[in-house]
Amino acid sequence: MKMKKLTATILSGVMAVSLTACGGGDNKAADTANSAATDTGNKAADSAEKAPDTEQAQGGVELEVVTTFAGNDGNAQTYKKFYQMWEEKTGNKVEDMSATADDTFKVRVVTDFETGSEPDVLFFFNGSDSNNFIDAGKVISIEDIRAEYPDYASNLDDGRIPKSWVDNKAYAVPVNGIWEAMFVNTEILDAAGVAMPGADYTWDQFTQDCQKIKDAGYTPIAAALGDIPHYWWEFAIFNYNTPENHLTVPESIEDEIGKGWVAGMEDIKALYEAGYFPENTLSAKDDETFAMFTEGKAAFLLDGSWKVNGIASACQSDPDDPSTLDTEKLSKFDVTYVPAKDGRKATDLIGGLTSGYYITKKAWDDPEKRAAAVDFVSYMTSDEVVPEFAQHGSSALKNVPEVDENVFNELQIKSLKMVAGSTSFTGPVQDLFQGESRVPTFDGMPEIVTGSVSAEDAVQEGLDIYWSSDL
């Protein structure tokens, strides 16, 4: 129990320090140019050859690699392209066993480690999903790899490589990151006579705007509280915290942070009672409310960076072909900061690098595979490859390539600007607050907003579960 609190505190400190650093111009990092896909290939190949740490593997090594770049993941094709280029360059072979990152996939990865059939290289989440195999010492930390390959992941900013919650060491080499913010349908704002919110947006302004939008006959907020309350939960709590202490799970509702959690839930309840969520917010699924937003029925949407592409594809006649984009429709969408209350500044964002490449002990202990695995990860996280994955998202690169705005659509450029204006990035506290402890305030959100359970009781119940489990 003490252990848990300690790691949480360390983590929050580390995150806050490292991430505030990326506030200013550094954010270009995130925002990398999609430097014309044709020549990147060559560049990438060049750079990897130059890389001194790659003891050129002689080829003929077969690496088993599991990633989440599969199926509908936006980067599935990018991943395929680059691992095949790596194969060509080194003569090694990648046995790709990637799959969509759903629950079955997570269970499979865990089971693999338990039965000793884990892959050589794994691209996986670095949150609590990884606790078990890190605890069991089945993956090698970046520190240990650097003892032998000093340049491993040296092109990345160490401060921004997330640490494991088990031992506060870094294991996963990150590629692309996420942020969470508020998307806006400006057509509705215009119709309701509401100005586009900016960096100093406050909660009071927000509720006034919601009322205006509601009076104009639209739904102010697109959210399915009965299905995915996660984003509202996170920001409502963040409002009462600062980036420095947001990643602290309170001990009870009595302490300062705990009071903030309760107040955050009360804020969501107030929005619900004022009728700012869709009428069927408790029974709708997230897909439905997202469709309300893209179809011009709801004005605000709190969601993550991946929705930039989701909104764009909703404006395309062929969702998989960006050339069919209806630019006029897309221009109606914008992205801005989540309205702030109490301690937080509106420009403080939630975000981070939530996954990365692990090298397993199994591959490390195999003299044939060690060099190949290190070379593979170095290649896939090199300065040339990372931007291809990160696109308009964020990354941990030290040298941030220039942004070529021509390759991005309007919403992507708007989000680049939004991110560039942010003052900090903080990881979501809900990543610490997992499983059963979430039940009272996540799945229980409908009970809280309808008043059948009080916010205090729900938060306290969740905290009790959190502190009584010993993970």
Partner 1 sequence: MKKRKFSVPMAVIYTLLCFWALTTVYPIIWVVLNSFKAKNKILENSFALPMGELFTLANYRKAFTNLNIFGAYKNSIFISSMVCAIVILLAGLASFALVRYHFKLKNTLYMLVVAGMMFPAFATVIPVYTMEASWGIAGTKNWWLSMLSVILPQVAGNLSFAIIVLTGYIRSLPIELEEAAFMEGCGSIQIFFKVIVPLTKPSFATVAIFSFLWSYNDLFTQMFFLRRPDIMAITRLLNELTSNEGTDYGLMAAAVSLVVIPVLIVYIFMQKYIIKGMTAGAVKG
Partner 2 sequence: MGANIYKNKKPLFLFLLPAFIFMIVFLYFPFFKNIVDSCMKIKQLGTSGEVWNEPWYSNYTKLLTDENVRTSLKNTLIMTIVTIFGQVGIALLLALMVDNIKRGAKVFRTLFFFPIVVSATALGLLFNLIFLYDTGMINQLLTMFGRQELIDWKSEKWALFTMMLPVMWQYVGFYFVIIVTGLNNISEELYEAAAIDGATRLKRIWYITVPLLHNVLCTCVVLAVTGSLKVFDLPWTMFPKGMPLKSTFLTGTYMYYQTMIVKDVDYGCALAVMIVILGVVLSRIVNAIFKEKDY
Work out what residue 226 binds among partner 2, partner 1, none; the CB cut-off runs from 5 to 8 Å by kind. Answer: partner 2
Shortest reach from residue 291's CB to partner 1, in Å: 5
Torsion of CA 375, 380, 382, 388, to 10 degrees: 160
User: What single letter denotes the amino acid at residue 418?
Assistant: M
Cα separation of 321 and 323, whole Å? 5
Would you report the helix, strand and coil content of the chain in percent, each value rounded to 5? 45, 15, 40
Q: Which of 50, 279, 317, 406 lies at the binding interface for partner 1 (CB under 8 A)? A: 317
Work out what residue 45 binds among partner 2, partner 1, none; the CB cut-off runs from 5 to 8 Å by kind. Answer: none
Cα separation of 228 and 278, whole Å? 13
Q: Which of 42, 100, 399, 468 lies at the binding interface for partner 1 (CB under 8 A)? A: 100
User: Residue 285 or 402: which CB sits closer to partner 2?
Assistant: 285
What phi, psi does 208 have (nearest 5°)?
-65, -45
Residue 55 interacting with partner 1 (CB under 8 A): no
User: Residue 84 or 468: which CB sits closer to partner 2?
Assistant: 468
Shortest reach from residue 211's CB to partner 2, in Å: 22
Residues near 91 by Cβ (< 8 Å), separated by ≥ 6? Answer: 57, 58, 59, 60
> Comparing C-alpha atoms, which of 290, 366, 375 is closest to residue 87?
375
Region at 92 (left for phi over 0; alpha for psi -120 to 50; beta for the rest): beta
Binding site for partner 2 (CB under 8 A): 103, 106-111, 114, 129, 131-132, 226-227, 279-280, 282-285, 288, 292, 297, 434-436, 438-439, 443, 446-447, 450, 452, 471
User: Residue 309 or 430: which CB sits closer to partner 1?
Assistant: 309
Residue 326 interacting with partner 1 (CB under 8 A): no
What mask of x and - would describe binding to partner 1 in positions 268 to 287, judged by CB under 8 A? ------------------xx
Query: How many CA atoms are closer than 13 Å to the CA of 125, on its beta-carbon side?
Result: 19
- Taking CA atoms, 89 is separated from 47, 60, 280, 368, 469, in Å, by 12, 12, 55, 17, 48
Range in contact with partner 1 (rule: CB under 8 A) among 105-113, 136-144, 196-204, 233-241? 105-113
Work out what residue 283 binds among partner 1, partner 2, none; the CB cut-off runs from 5 to 8 Å by kind. Answer: partner 2
The first and second tokens of residue 168, run together, are 């506060």
Q: Which of 55, 102, 200, 443 lies at the binding interface for partner 1 (CB under 8 A)? A: 102
Cα separation of 398 and 80, whole Å? 25
Residues of this chain that interact with partner 1 (CB under 8 A) are 70-74, 95-97, 99-100, 102, 104-105, 107-108, 111-112, 114-117, 286-288, 290-291, 294-295, 304, 306-307, 309-310, 313-314, 316-321
